[in-house]
Chain A
């Protein structure tokens, strides 16, 4: 399975070895910053092309990985589908619902396979939480609370800080939690949210979201790009027979570096290594689907739902009223 990487920034470079481990061969790379594409292509003995459209048109490519800013996902998905390529797309699937519909229609028309990287479904800690719930260990879950975030990604001038491109912390970061919550607890009924998107230029966004599920369950989701440093994830599930809590800051390894060589003094870097990275597991799942072995854990419809939940939260934060799905 020959893979072309579109977007060779942080995520493109991160995904590449995961895809290779899962059985893909990287044959082409493209990035508006040519040097990024060159570095990755050299590592994998791949070709570099000018842009996404050129990569989608390559005969040597069977599958594309879209690791670009969110707002251009849709047009690349359409181009890839029209060229008969299978697609791995980073989350969120698209920036708007019409874009999701257009992209999904193109995928269906072309009969290609689309996998969107809702990787939290593969994180071992979240699998463990789901397993205990499914096993009835907390009884019927009634309330869930999650936190995800830390520092604003990348720096000043980054596309993440352009709300029209990224959708802020709500659409970019806690879409992970929206997807995982729907995966475990079913469809949501309505959402209410508040956020600090008016400060996104300063590198600050903070989203506070309450979801009400059709089952009655209440979920409170907090997402932060407001912390001066670090990244952490927390989850809590309360049921009629028990509770589950998880906090990534209680990691098995914590290192603290002295302030030499440009590092920030006193920053604690937690680590929780596992044999199989959840990013590898999502690539493996996608690979198995392409080989016709099984259906994937994340369907294209799931990815559209996650965007719908994120955009619902964004709309609620704008209007100050709940949004029904």
Chain B
């Protein structure tokens, strides 16, 4: 049994990770710490586990690994505390809001001999895994270009407070696809151009739409839309999609398009109910295995850093109105 703890429930994904840990064999949600004590106590009661208000006490507990789900800006401090306590770490994405923070997290975990992972569940989504295998098998030949999206609904709260999130939709919704492309194509990003702004829900304080043009090693050309542009009445939270253009053909993947349509008179909007596998199961399982095997999780701290580099370059490009080098 691998004992895991969760640090902060500021990010809503924490609830899904907690639920996943509770449902999986071989892992145990042992304890919770949260800098918002009221929230921490509530969720600890909900999942039936002890709550620690004191970080030191939490880190002295016998959890072997921690999942950090704080506001983006706090990822570094929490990672440092956990690494110094010798814990294995899975950090919510984006790993950090600056390259300096992300690099410091990677360096410290390496020097302390603890594994650091970035929560990129796309690596555990069967549809994306299948396309990755097909690309590797040469089904589409050489890859020339890709058009991608990671759209979402507006998450609200601290996500649109730059002081806590480091940025808006471009910060939040670029890294999943950036990591998935690096993982599927085995190339690094070289160039970024980005147009982003607050265009949908006015006055939220950050951008809510970003249109990125990326280039990867070998000249692969990519566009990506990172957004919180989904209407409240849209049938689901959003999407991860890719259209990949290759020498031998084209493959499109709508990663979460495994759904039934629900028409419920009380909701008064069509809802898509997913039936695909829960990718958080894969994420949590891999994290537990990484602790047992004394390795980094599938998407490591370095992978998180690479995605942060793309996001930082995107904001730099948007500010300068020019393409920039990653």
Q: Which residues of A contact B (CB under 8 A)?
A: 138, 140, 142-143, 145, 147, 190, 192-196, 199, 204, 206, 208, 210, 212, 216-218, 220, 222, 224, 226-228, 238-243, 320-322
Asked whether, in the complex, the Cβ of A208 is within 8 Å of the Cβ of B213, the reply is: yes
The 0/1 profile, CB within 8 Å of A marked 1, for residues 289-326 of chain B is 00000000000000000000000000000000111000
Would you call A240 and B211 a contact (CB within 8 A)? no
Measured between beta carbons, the chain B residues less than 8 angstroms from A196 are: 144-145, 221, 245
Report the bound CA distance from A258 to B284 in whole Å. 47
With contact pairs A194-B221, A238-B200 given, residues A142 and B229 touching in the complex (Cβ less than 8 Å): yes
Tell me whether B159 is interfacial, beta carbon within 8 Å: no
CB distance from A88 to the nearest CB of B (A): 34
Complex partner residue of A242 from B147, B211, B231, CB under 8 angstroms: B231
Whether the pair B199, A243 counts as a contact (CB closer than 8 A) is no
Q: Specify which of B191, B215, B222, B229 is in contact with A238 (CB 8 Å cutoff).
A: B229
| A320 adjacent to B191 (CB under 8 Å) | yes
For B215, the chain A residues whose CB sits under 8 A away are 194
Does B42 count as interface, using CB distance less than 8 angstroms? no
Residue of A138, A194, A240 contacting most chain B CB atoms (<10 Å): A194
Contact check, A145 vs B200: say whether CB atoms are below 8 A apart. no
Please measure, in the bound complex, the distance between the C-alpha atom of A48 and the C-alpha atom of B195, giving whole angstroms. 52
A interface SS class: strand
CB atoms of A143 and B193 under 8 A apart: no
Chain A residues near B222 (CB-CB < 8 A) = 194, 208
Closest to A320 in B: B323
The answer, yes or no, to whether B43 is at the interface (CB within 8 Å) is no
Q: Other CB < 8 Å A-B pairs besides A192-B195, A216-B197, 12 of them?
A: A142-B208, A143-B229, A208-B147, A218-B199, A220-B223, A224-B245, A227-B250, A238-B230, A241-B231, A243-B229, A320-B323, A322-B322
Q: Which 4 A-B pairs have the closest CB atoms?
A: A142-B199, A238-B229, A208-B223, A194-B221
Interface size class of B (residues with CB under 8 A): 35 or more
Give the residues in chain A near B118, CB-CB below 8 Å.
none
Cα–Cα, bound, A193→B212 (Å): 10
Which residues on B sit within 8 Å (CB–CB) of A140? 202
A204–B144 CB distance below 8 A:
yes
Inter-chain contact A210/B245, CB cutoff 8 Å: no
Q: Which B residues are in CB contact (< 8 Å) with A192?
A: 193, 195, 213, 323
* Neighbour of B245 across the interface among A217, A226, A238, A322, CB < 8 A: A226
> What CA separation (Å) do A117 and B117 show in the bound complex?
55
Inter-chain contact B144/A322, CB cutoff 8 Å: no
A residues less than 8 Å from B193 (CB atoms): 192, 210, 320-322
Contact B223 A194 (CB under 8 A): yes
Mark out the residues of chain B between 97 and 111 whose CB falls within 8 Å of any chain A CB in the assembled complex. Answer: none
Q: Counting chain A CB atoms within 10 Å of each CB, which of B202, B211, B221, B233 scores highest?
A: B211
Chain B residue contacts of A143, Cβ below 8 A: 199-200, 209, 225, 227, 229
With a CB–CB cut-off of 8 A, which chain B residues contact A210? 193, 195, 211, 213, 223
Given the known A-B contacts A216-B199, A238-B200, A322-B193, are A228 and B249 also in contact in the complex, defined by CB atoms under 8 Å? Answer: yes
Q: A192-B193, A206-B245, A243-B229 are in contact. Are A199 and B144 (CB under 8 A)?
A: yes
Cβ of B200 and Cβ of A222 under 8 Å apart? no
